[in-house]
Chains A and B, each alone.
Chain A
Amino acid sequence: MDLAIRQMEETANLIRQDVIKMIAQAGSGHPAGSLGMADVLTALYFGDEANLDPQKKHNPKRDRVVLSNAHICPVLYSALARRGYFPIKELMTLRRLGSRLQGHSNNHFDIGIETSGGPLSQGISQAVGMAIAGRMDKSPFHVWCLMSDGEFDEGQTWEAFMLAGKLKLGGLTALIDRNRIQISGNTEDVMPLEIFKKKLKAFNWKVIEINGHKMPLIIKAMRRAKNQSKPTAIICHTIPGKGVSFMENKYEWHGKAPNPKEAKQALEELSKL
């Protein structure tokens, strides 16, 4: 395997450890989705496909990243810090009074975050707006919208998909965390989404399905997504709580902080990967 991929996998693992430390320190937060999307965020911020650079965070031609499922912001904060947008030690201020790292991500602090989230599915509409603006200006940037499967319960998400499909927004890619959990249970019990891929296709999107933990596959899918004449949905099949045995595939870890003992065990497991 090439060195770059190996390094990215190591970065993803460091990000997972950050996530555990941050949420444990804060005493609240959302570990399952954050751990599950660590590989995708690493591909986004440390791979060559997205045009993101902390030195050029105001460049009008930069790619836009929108975190629509903003409850998994710990993984975004860690990726940004490790990529150089702000000091890594600031990660431990998550959710504290006066911190730039609010409980849900926002755009108030010029740390590379484009907009605010929290209410599910608001991000995808904004991402559509950004892609429309890019087309109006003939600007070459790409919009990467990180989403969760739970967001597809919201009507607004489908409204956004319909508009992007109608406008054939090739400048837009949704990276969807298909981890099959939401707050109250498994998605197929709370609100079934299958046949998910067919639904997205029916909205005139290009759909790619991948294992969301395989770095080369994520990168390849992103590369393909950039060259489409319509919007692309990359369904990333992930394991919620990835890397921590007692969290994996357990919806109970959607929004619960590990206690000190659990955090210690989680970090031990992650450091052995």
Chain B
Amino acid sequence: MKPISLSKYWMYKTVEKKATRDGYGEGLLELGKSNPKVVVLTADVGESTRVLPFQKKYPNRFVECGVAEQNMMGVAAGLALTGKIPFVSSYAVFSPGRNWDQLRVSVCYSKANVKIAGAHTGVSVGPDGATHQALEDMAITRAIPGLVVIAPCDAEETRKCTLAAAAHKGPVYFRFGREKTPVITVKQTPFKIGQANLCREGYDVTIIACGPLLHQTLMAAEMLAEQGIEAEVINSHTIKPLDAKTIVQSVKKTHCAVTVEEHQLMGGLFGAVSECLAKRYPVPVEPIGMPNKFGESGAPDELLAKYGMTKENIVKAALKAINRK
């Protein structure tokens, strides 16, 4: 496997910064044009989920549900069972947080082709504080049979993810952040649901990341290289189904791993990777993520530093994993 192409500027300060949710808004606009079955729903958070341009252009394919997430999920199931491809758009703490039962039964058990877009995930949501920072969404979605779970790494990947979700038959949950984060991938970077992307080759440690923290991960790999340690970096944008093949292949070479996610350390990427490796190829795995705590108000960078999700933390975790080999 060859590493994917990345933006020439990803390492520099001049790298373009854009919120992943903006990639969602762009993807929806493309879908509006290309797929008449696509409809969009929101629960009074149209502005912050970036669905208003779609509403403006395709008002007849847009449903404003009011602040009623449980009903919104059910309405989406009904739309899907009648041939539509609905995109349910809200904050992840409420959707799938508040309407998990509706997601489980109305959508997944009923095999309804619904796409759920969870905004404002991770501590980097910042000033709004713990209540609005979704850190459990991957755990609660990953446990539902048949549901695909994706955490795209930047705005470009989120755009592609939106298109891929529409093309995928069956329910898909994908999450994005609030803040502007570096655009690492480019138009030509491949994106396929369930297929992880190799971003950097190495042989000392495998670092598996998802979401915008992929940028910190790549920076950490450069810092490790300065110490003579070559890290392999994998973008596991799809958490379920996990690309076990790519991960195991890499770990067979490196014999240790680090996972990086903006999510609780239980039930997310660390959980998925550990489950996979425990069964297929047990090696030491060190996790980066939220250590069983609620977040709080603050600036995104301050919060990521306080809860141990910086490139320096990733370097430390990599050294620890290597030591445990």
Contacts and interface: CB of A to CB of B under 8 A. Distances in A.
Interface in B54-85: 60-61, 63, 65-66, 68, 70-84
Interface in B82-113: 82-84, 86, 101-102, 105-106, 109-112
Contacts of B71: 125, 128, 156, 159-160, 162-163
A118 to B, nearest CB: 6
A249 interface: no
A156 B98 CA distance: 11
A119 interface: yes
The main secondary structure of chain A at its interface with chain B is: helix
B39 interface: yes
Given A115-B106, A115-B110, A126 B81 contact: yes
B82 A115 contact: no
A163 B75 contact: yes
A136 B78 contact: no
A35 B60 CA distance: 41
B105 A122 contact: yes
Contact of B74 (A106, A107, A125, A155): A125
A159 B70 contact: yes
Contact of A115 (B72, B81, B84): B81
B79 A116 contact: no
A116 B109 contact: yes
Given A115-B81, A130-B81, A162-B66, A156 B106 contact: no
B271 to A, nearest CB: 26
Contacts of A155: 70
Contacts of B65: 159, 163
Nearest to A156: B70
A132 B112 CA distance: 16
A104 to B, nearest CB: 9
A122 B102 contact: yes
Given A163-B71, A163-B75, A125 B106 contact: yes
A157 to B, nearest CB: 9
A60 interface: yes
Interface in A128-147: 128-134, 136-137
Given A136-B60, A163-B68, A125 B75 contact: yes
A252 interface: no
B74 A122 contact: yes
A108 B81 CA distance: 12
Interface in B103-125: 105-106, 109-112
A99 to B, nearest CB: 16
A144 to B, nearest CB: 13
Nearest to A125: B74
Contacts of B66: 159, 162-163, 166
Contacts of A262: none
B75 A162 contact: no
Contacts of A162: 66, 68, 71
B79 A106 contact: no
A173 to B, nearest CB: 14
A1 to B, nearest CB: 37
Contacts of B106: 115-116, 122, 125-126
Nearest to B69: A159
Interface string A90-130: 00000000000000001110000011111100111111111
Contacts of B73: 125
Contact of A129 (B70, B74, B105): B74
Contacts of A123: 74
B81 A114 contact: yes
A136 B84 contact: yes
Nearest to B65: A163
B110 A129 contact: no
B83 A159 contact: no
Contacts of A163: 63, 65-66, 68, 71, 75
B82 A125 contact: no
Contacts of A160: 71, 74-75
Interface in A157-180: 159-160, 162-163, 166
Given A107-B110, A116-B109, A134 B82 contact: yes
B75 A132 contact: yes
A126 B74 CA distance: 5
A117 B63 CA distance: 23
Contact of A106 (B83, B84, B109): B109
B75 A116 contact: no
B129 to A, nearest CB: 25
Contacts of B74: 122-126, 128-129, 156, 160
A115 B78 CA distance: 8
Pick the 4 closest A-B CB pairs, nearest first.
Answer: A129-B78, A125-B74, A159-B71, A133-B82
25 contacts: A66-B78, A106-B110, A107-B110, A114-B81, A115-B78, A115-B110, A115-B112, A116-B106, A119-B101, A126-B74, A126-B77, A126-B81, A129-B75, A129-B79, A130-B78, A133-B78, A137-B82, A155-B70, A156-B71, A156-B74, A159-B70, A160-B74, A160-B75, A162-B66, A166-B66
Given A106-B109, A118-B105, A128-B75, 4 more contacts: A115-B81, A122-B74, A128-B71, A163-B66
